């Protein structure tokens, strides 16, 4: 066994609310598009349990809150009884290995097309501004979006309620808590960001108004399941899916301060260097002001490796670090970080294929003799 100690801050324990985490290497939420018909599948039992360590925190892939929440093939949901039942053995497997498991609850808003919507209706958003077609991650296919329908003011409470019910269902399925997906240009972000939100009601205009919807979701979910089981993911600096903001720092700070009122467990922020989901860029901004403003656990994500993660924890820039692509390709990532072992490379081409094994559960573990 390699001796490790203070040189690996990522491998030190951390108490997140009532959860005693044995290290700070978090599985980032990763959409894998292998939940056929929006129902989590038995192959996810192996996938998540491979990535579980005793006392490790895992965040499940983005999971739809309702039948209008989808915009990609085969992403899981948590609004039907069948979906809740299908999550149970997956959650049980993570718990059996001592993991702490949060469900990321999600509504894509306008990042959809009528083919994913009930009765072929238009997707919903803060606005009726259409999204221009986007190149898919394979660099070949193009995703087409149907122009969205702007939600009426009186419809917003129904969507808030969908998040509340999804959170209740997540607890019913056995999850330890939920992460509200407020990042990456999806529905909540479509309200927060001034590049998208052009409303004139109390959900548009000022920063306070644009953040109202996300904060109503936070409040409803916290009231339903307890603030000690609620996290939120935000990406104020990202412009993914044409969701940029003219003053991302003010937005991030406003949210960090406002979240304190609800006493939620954690705030998970995406690094400013991640303007899109998978690519780093040079960037002068930092999350430190938001980290300082937020009273709960602060998780940072986006472009971290072992060294950068260790430095961020050592310097107090974050309590926990979420790893996406490295964890996808290295099921035993905490162990590899502990040993400073080499990492498997990730293969982008199999991120989103529907195969239940390839690029999913076939990444090798470290061969150890111990």
Q: Name 161's Cβ contacts closer than 8 Å, sequence gap at least 6.
A: 220
50 SS3 class = helix
Q: First-to-last CA distance in the chain?
A: 7
Nearest Cα neighbor of 127 from 213, 44, 41 is 213
Candidates 116, 186, 240, 352; catalytic one: 186
Q: Residue 61 or residue 224: which is nearer to ligand FMN going by CB?
A: 61
- Run of H or E residues at 312: helix 306-314
Note if 186 is an active site residue: yes
Token pair in block for residue 285: 């901004």
154 SS3 class = helix
Q: Residue 199 or residue 291: which is nearer to ligand FMN going by CB?
A: 291
Residue ranges in contact with ligand FMN by CB under 6 A: 28-31, 61-62, 104, 181, 183-184, 233, 270, 274, 277-278, 301-304, 323-326, 351
Interhelix angle 207-225/156-173, rounded to 10 degrees, is 40
Distance CA 214, CA 232 (A): 9
Q: Residue 90 or residue 122: which is nearer to ligand FMN going by CB?
A: 90
Contact 297, 266 (CB under 8 A): yes
Interhelix angle 248-260/207-225, rounded to 10 degrees, is 30
Q: What is the nearest approach in angstroms of ligand FMN to the Cβ of residue 134?
A: 15
Phi, psi of 306 (to 5 degrees): -60, -50
Q: What is the nearest approach in angstroms of ligand FMN to the Cβ of residue 114?
A: 22
Q: What is the nearest approach in angstroms of ligand FMN to the Cβ of residue 106?
A: 7
Q: Residue 83 or residue 199: which is nearer to ligand FMN going by CB?
A: 83
- CA-to-CA dists, residue 75 to 32, 66, 68, 69, 79, angstroms: 7, 12, 13, 10, 13
Q: What is the nearest approach in angstroms of ligand FMN to the Cβ of residue 73?
A: 13
Q: What is the nearest approach in angstroms of ligand FMN to the Cβ of residue 332?
A: 16
Contact 60, 106 (CB under 8 A): no
Q: Which residue is nearest to ligand FMN (CB)?
A: 324
Q: What is the nearest approach in angstroms of ligand FMN to the Cβ of residue 34?
A: 11
Q: Name 62's Cβ contacts closer than 8 Å, sequence gap at least 6.
A: 29, 31, 75, 104, 106, 181, 186
**Alpha-carbon torsion, ordered 360, 38, 45, 86, to 10 deg:** -170
Q: Residue 93 or residue 188: which is nearer to ligand FMN going by CB?
A: 188
Q: Residue 40 or residue 324: which is nearer to ligand FMN going by CB?
A: 324
Q: What is the nearest approach in angstroms of ligand FMN to the Cβ of residue 119?
A: 26
Q: Among all residues, which ones are annotated catalytic? A: 186
């Amino acid at each position: 066994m390699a001796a490790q100690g203070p040189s690996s801050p990522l491998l030190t324990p951390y108490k997140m609310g009532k959860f005693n985490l044995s290290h700070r290497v978090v599985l980032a939420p990763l959409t894998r598009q292998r939940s056929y018909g929006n129902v989590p599948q038995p192959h996810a039992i192996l996938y998540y349990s491979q990535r579980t360590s005793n006392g490790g925190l895992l965040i499940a892939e983005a999971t739809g809150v309702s039948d209008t929440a989808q915009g990609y093939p085969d992403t899981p949901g948590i609004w039907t009884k069948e979906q809740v039942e299908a999550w149970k053995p997956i959650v049980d497997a993570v718990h059996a290995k001592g993991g702490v498991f949060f469900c990321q609850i999600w509504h894509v808003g306008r990042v959809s097309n009528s083919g994913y919507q009930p009765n072929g209706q238009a997707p919903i958003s803060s606005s009726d501004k259409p999204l221009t077609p986007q190149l898919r991650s394979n660099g070949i296919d193009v995703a087409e979006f149907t122009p969205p329908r702007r939600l009426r003011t009186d419809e917003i409470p129904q969507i808030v309620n969908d998040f509340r019910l999804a959170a209740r269902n997540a607890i019913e399925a056995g999850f330890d808590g939920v992460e509200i997906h407020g990042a990456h240009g999806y529905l909540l972000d479509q309200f927060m960001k001034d590049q998208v939100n052009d409303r004139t009601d109390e959900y548009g205009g000022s920063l306070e108004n644009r953040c109202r919807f996300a904060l109503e979701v936070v409040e409803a979910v916290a009231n339903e399941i307890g603030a000690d089981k609620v996290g939120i993911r935000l990406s104020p600096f990202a412009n993914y899916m044409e969701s940029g903001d003219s003053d991302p720092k003010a937005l991030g700070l406003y949210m960090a301060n406002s979240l304190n009122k609800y006493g939620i467990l954690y705030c998970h922020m995406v690094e400013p260097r991640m303007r899109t989901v998978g690519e780093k860029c040079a960037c002068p901004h930092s999350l430190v002001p938001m980290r300082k403003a937020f009273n709960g656990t602060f998780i940072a994500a986006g472009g971290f490796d072992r060294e950068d993660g260790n430095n961020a924890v050592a310097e107090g820039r974050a309590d926990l670090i979420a790893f996406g692509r490295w964890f996808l390709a290295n099921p035993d990532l905490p162990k590899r970080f502990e040993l400073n072992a080499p990492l498997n490379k990730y293969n982008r081409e199999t991120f989103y294929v529907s195969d239940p094994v390839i690029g999913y559960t076939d990444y090798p573990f470290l061969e150890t003799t111990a």
